[in-house]
């Protein structure tokens, strides 16, 4: 049983001055869950909600993918613009390693 519906099954009778046994609260909880499910099926709200959630999930996935692609494109452009721009996006260790690579390349070109 869903705790959400159990709260209603416990509070509403109490608000009306009616005392229920724990078994009656269980039965009322099941009845409330079933009524809600039947309402959703009868009105189509359950389908509409699932469709909205699926569309929202897809929108968020695409938004995330677009941010990732923009990030990658920015880094590629930085790398293409040369080592000085590329260094802006690197940690100190990465910069030192890249510096060593450039030095080795220069030495190899001189040979």
For the stretch 66-80, pLDDT in tens is 787 777 777 767 665
Global pTM value: 0.40
Contact 33, 1 (CB under 8 A): yes
Q: Give the C-alpha separation, 96 to 92, whole Å.
A: 6
pLDDT at res. 26: 92
Q: Which are the contacts of 98, defined by CB distance < 8 A and separation ≥ 6?
A: 83, 86, 87, 90
Summarize the confidence of residues 31-57 as an average pLDDT. 77
* Cβ neighbours for 26, distance < 8 A, ≥ 6 positions apart: 1, 9
- The DSSP code sequence of 52-101 is HHHHHHHHHHHHHHHHHHHHHHHHHHHHHT-HHHHHTTS-HHHHHHHHHH
pLDDT over 80 at 6, yes or no: yes
pLDDT band at 107 (very low <50, low <70, confident <90, very high): confident
């Amino acid at each position: 049983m869903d705790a959400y519906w159990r709260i209603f099954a416990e509070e509403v009778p109490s608000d009306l001055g009616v005392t229920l046994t724990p078994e009656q609260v269980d039965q009322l909880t099941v009845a409330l869950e079933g009524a809600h499910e039947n309402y959703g099926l009868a009105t189509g709200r359950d389908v509409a909600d699932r469709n909205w959630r699926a569309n929202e999930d897809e929108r968020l996935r695409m938004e995330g993918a677009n941010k990732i692609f923009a990030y990658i494109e920015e880094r590629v452009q930085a790398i293409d613009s040369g080592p000085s721009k590329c260094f802006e996006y690197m940690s100190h260790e990465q910069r030192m390693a890249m510096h060593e690579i450039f030095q080795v390349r220069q030495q190899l070109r001189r040979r």
